[in-house]
Amino acid sequence: MKILIIAPENEQLRPISNSIFGELKNFGGYEIDLIEMNTFYLSCSYFQRKLYKLGYKNSETEYDKHLVAELAKKCAEFQPNCILILNGAHVPAAVQDFLTKYKVIVWFWDSVKRDELLSKFINWADEIFCFEYDDLKYLAEKNKFARYLPLGANDKIYFPRECERDVDISFVGLASKERLFLLNKICERACEKNWTVKIGGIFYDKNHFWKKYLFRRRQPALAKFLENRIFAPAEVAEIYRRSKICVNINTAVHHSLSPRTFEICATKSFQLMNSGQNSHGLMNLETDLAVFSGVEDLLDKIEFYLANETLRKKIALAGYESVMKNCTMKKSVEKLFAESEILRGLRND
């Protein structure tokens, strides 16, 4: 019984893939192997991307042929009984066509409605698991059945450890329109109140020197507190442990709980998250974390919770207990095996 995982070749997503790979290996009864890949557009050089936009697609065709050849070689050697695709947005159409000869399970890490490449999977994937709960209805309208499967926290990395909470407010993640606006407002207030703020993640392209200066001009307050780089999961976990308030700003396209939600709670840290998310029974959003609506409410609640350490600890403990019960990566993998008819069939064969 062999499962081949196709995972994104992406530095930021690799820790999630490795976490799932580790839990699958620990599950027992299966042989697991993994291959990483990416689309041409996400992996090509700046010059190649410019040519691609001008309509020169020969490089992409050759790139895809190479990917298919590498995958065919891996499948010939490993002889998988099924293929588990993590994320999906990294798998080119040519590879998707090759995979039609196998039983395929897709675990989407983004909304199917958001990416045209993802939507192609729904035509032939044997089983679909969705990170975004709202996609279940969308897929049902297209006569495709799917199951909800969130990305839990890796509790081998995100776990509590007593240390000084020397950071007042933190955020680690990628830039988005909502995040830039709210984080800049937080940083403006931080300058007034002398709050200690730590913000990390890729907010501008470091390969082009002018992007840094443009960012500083447009987001002057935020730039003072930003460390513009990719943070390893262990570094992120340590930032959460040191933070009095971990801010979680979900993007507008998502309404289900993100991995960040679970990871913050798994370190037994207090979380302040934007409204509009639905826990679907995984957590109690009234007791396990705090929710804000709009910029003024965000700033008011930061001031309130910074002044109420006992309440922060009470809420953080409730969030930690909920995540340990329902929202670890081990729980997600257990649910995958429990609900996948393909995986159950392999075990019974």
Least confident of 9-23, 43-57, 192-206, 307-321: 43-57
The percentage of the chain sitting over the pLDDT mark of 90, rounded to a whole number, equals: 74
Q: What was the pLDDT predicted at 119?
A: 73
Tokens of 114: 């958001």
pLDDT interval class at 47 (50, 70, 90): confident
Q: How many CA atoms lie within 13 A of 62 on its CB side?
A: 7
Q: Specify burial of residue 213 (Cβ count, 10 A radius: 0-12, 13-18, 19+).
A: exposed
Q: pTM for the complete prediction?
A: 0.92
Cα–Cα dist 295/290, whole Å:
14
Q: What is the C-alpha separation between 278 and 284, in angstroms, rounded?
A: 10
> Measured at the alpha carbon of residue 332, what is the angle toward residues 331 and 337, in degrees to the nearest 5?
95
The predicted structure's pLDDT at residue 117: 64
The percent of residues above 70 in pLDDT, for the chain, comes to 97
Containing H/E element for 152? none
Of residues 6, 136, 137, 166, the one with CA closest to residue 83: 6
Provide the pLDDT confidence category of residue 193 given band limits of 50, 70 and 90: very high
Task: Tell me the pLDDT tens digit for each residue of 113-159.
Answer: 776 667 777 788 899 999 999 999 989 998 899 999 999 999 999 99
Q: What is the pLDDT of residue 33?
A: 96
Q: What was the pLDDT predicted at 212?
A: 86
Per-residue pLDDT band at 89 (split at 50, 70, 90):
confident
pLDDT for 209 beyond 80: no
Phi/psi of residue 181, nearest 5 degrees: -65, -50
Round to whole Å and give the CA distance between 231 and 44.
23
Q: What is the mean pLDDT of the chain?
A: 92
* 274-283 contacts at long range (C-beta below 8 A, 24 or more positions apart): 274/178, 274/182, 274/248, 274/249, 274/250, 274/298, 276/250, 277/250, 278/133, 280/133, 280/148, 280/256, 282/150, 282/257, 282/322, 282/326, 282/327, 283/257, 283/319, 283/322, 283/323, 283/326, 283/327
- Mean pLDDT, rounded, for 238-251: 96
171: confidence class by pLDDT, cuts 50, 70, 90: very high
pLDDT per residue as tens digits for the range 222-241:
999 999 999 999 999 999 99
User: Is the pLDDT reported for residue 205 higher than 90?
Assistant: no
